Amino acid sequence: MLSLGLARVSEAAAIASARLIGRGDEKAADQAAVNAMREQLNLLDIKGVVVIGEGERDEAPMLYIGEEVGSGKGPEVDIALDPLEGTTLTAKDMPNALTVIAMGPRGTMLHAPDVYMDKLAIGPGFAPGLVDLDMSVAERVKALADAKGCGPEDIKVCVLERPRHEAMLNELREVGVQIRLITDGDVAGVIHCAESEKTGIDMYMGSGGAPEGVLAAAALKCMGGQIQGRLLFRNDDERGRAAAAGITDFNRKYSRDDMVTADVIFAATGVTDGSILAGLKRRGEYTETETILMRSRTGSVRRLQYRTRDA
């Protein structure tokens, strides 16, 4: 029942934010998703605490880190969420905008501060530790290509298009891989690796938000696959945020199971059309959404089609 409740939370956020698709207003789209997600979360019979959210309490009026959500009845749980993963994608009506939420027992998710994280991910079916953040770009590609029985030219790597990745992109091009650049949405970028036959993506690498790294780890814990992450700090203020979150080893390399240590439920709903989920559609007086709902304990992956009459 909690799984279905979580699906309703992500669906409500998608429906609310979809009214802002293509309107050019990122903040309004995000706020609409936040409002709807919070309202639905508070209907669930849980004692929830947001550990990955919209930011620190002084930065985010709702769904801030540490906020208590739910009815106050039921199990004590950690909540990791991104009410609208891809605010720019939504504002510009570009692919792969999602609403994302994960839930696990209290104390089982990394309290990642709002800093960058260096990430490396591949899909399921490979030996543990096949690729590693301490490998060079060429070594990562070669290891995966050897395991797949193909050449580097048959490997496709997903990378967030940012100036900070220019050197890494040059190395990837020297190796000869195919590269898919994405403008936003690195949770979706990592999830692509878990369904490589569908998406064509074999590996994800590069730096992005640490909170999104935890959400991506939750998804891969359900779908299978490997992810490593290492926090990156630009200044003492960011190190202070990490210390406040209880992190003592600033150079630690986190595996998937370090970031999400126990059973987790994960739900994501498409806002705009993408390679993982269909975006929201309006057909006459009805609105239709597609949600992926997963649980790590059983390895179950459900795709839910939801139709509701417009208010």
Known binding-site residue numbers for substrate: 85-87, 116, 162-164, 184-186, 209
In this structure, the number of other CB atoms found within 10 A of the CB of residue 24 comes to: 12
Contacts of 110 (CB under 8 A, 6+ apart): 51, 214, 217, 254, 258, 259, 260
Calculate Rg over the CA atoms of the chain.
Answer: 19
In DSSP notation, 173-236 reads: HHHT-EEEEESS-HHHHHHHHHTHHHH---EEEEEEEHHHHHHHHHHHHHH--EEEEEEE-SSH
CA angle 297, 302, 305 (to 5 degrees): 155
Identify whether the C-beta of residue 291 lies closer than 8 Å to the C-beta of residue 306.
yes
Secondary structure element (H or E) that encloses residue 302, with its range? strand 300-309
Known binding residues for Mn(2+): 30, 54, 82, 85, 212
CA angle 262, 83, 204 (to 5 degrees): 65
Of 121, 269, 286, the residue nearest 190 (C-alpha)? 121
In DSSP notation, 267-280 reads: EEEESS--SSSPPP
d(CA 38, CA 56): 16
In DSSP notation, 236-259 reads: HHHHHHHHHTT---TTPEEEHHHH
Residue 124: exposure state from Cβ atoms within 10 A (0-12, 13-18, ≥19): middle
H helix intervals, 19-136: 26-41, 87-91
